Amino acid sequence: MERILIIEDDSTILYALSELLKEEGFGAAAVKSLQEAFREDIREYCLILLDLGLPDGEGWAFLERLHAEGKEEEAPPVIILTAREEERDIIRGLDMGADDYVTKPFKTGVLISRIRAVLRRRGKAMRSTQALTCGNIRLDKQKTIVTAGGREISLTAGEFRLLQYLMENKERTLTRNVLLAHFWDNDGEFVNDNTLTVMVKRLREKLGSGSRQYIHTVRGIGYKMEDADD
């Protein structure tokens, strides 16, 4: 059974969440503080639900530790579950590597579908080897070839990497900072905010009007690539 770790100090929410997850066929384990969370072997879980306001600190510290210990690769996906709904908190959470952000009070159906979407995405990412697809776009990592509707598209190295990163994180909102940091890490090459905007614009143009709908602008936050049309 797939188990989900809930990091949440509110007993009422904790109880409701545990029951909900069990009904949906997941196992659930709960901890009520950061210190308890740090003692868990997170590799045993398929996903983590993280509250931000905890008695011994903020949920950010949990994400920071994953980052500091370089554990993101082996860590399960994290969904932040919080009453804070300000854009800057959402951006901060996504910037720090959270896979999604759900605000309280939440509709149980919505939370479950977000959980399933994150798990699906993670499963696909693990399986994806050489070819990535999104709608009629196909990217072959090995051969570094991109086609849209079977037509080969000529991209610069930067555009190719941007598209690959968007496709590897399909259905996930990537903040501008995450995208910029990704380029920085890979190349030590400076890509600024304007360059990013221009690259996305060129990429959309090259992929053709038929694929314009695949790269979505998430207003004020960043970009997201999706199969579905608007």
Nearest distance, CB of residue 212 and Ca ion, angstroms: 41
Min dist CB 52 to Ca ion, Å, is 7
Smallest gap from residue 162 Cβ to Ca ion (A): 37
**Mask: binding to Ca ion, 142-181, rule CB under 5 A, as x and -?**
----------------------------------------
Q: Which stretch binds Ca ion (CB under 5 A): 47-55, 102-110, 165-173, 184-192?
A: 47-55
Q: 80 - beta bridge partners?
A: 50, 101
Q: Is 123 in the site for Ca ion (CB under 5 A)?
A: no
For Ca ion, the closer CB: 51 or 159 = 51
What CA–CA distances, in Å, run from 42 to 36, 48, 54, 72, 229?
11, 8, 18, 11, 36
Q: How far is the CB of 100 from Ca ion (least distance, A)?
A: 18
Would you give the binding string for Ca ion spanning residues 185-224, x where CB under 5 A is met? ----------------------------------------
Q: How many other C-beta atoms lie within 10 A of the C-beta of residue 152? A: 10
* CA–CA distances in Å: residue 75 to residues 5, 42, 102, 189, 193: 12, 7, 19, 28, 29
Question: Is there binding between residue 51 and Ca ion (CB under 5 A)?
Answer: yes
Residue of 46, 54, 42, 55 whose CA lies nearest to 21: 46
Residue 13 makes contact with Ca ion by CB under 5 A: no
Binding to Ca ion by residue 53, rule CB under 5 A?
A: yes
Q: What angle do CA 17, 41, 23 make, to 5 degrees?
A: 25
3-state helix, strand, coil in the chain (%, to 5): 45, 25, 30
Region near Ca ion per CB under 5 A, out of 46-54, 100-108, 176-184, 196-204: 46-54
Largest distance between two CA atoms of the chain = 56
Residue closer to Ca ion (CB basis): 53 or 220 = 53
Q: Is the peptide bond before 76 cis (omega within 30 degrees of 0)?
A: no
- Tell me which residues touch Ca ion (CB under 5 A): 9, 51, 53
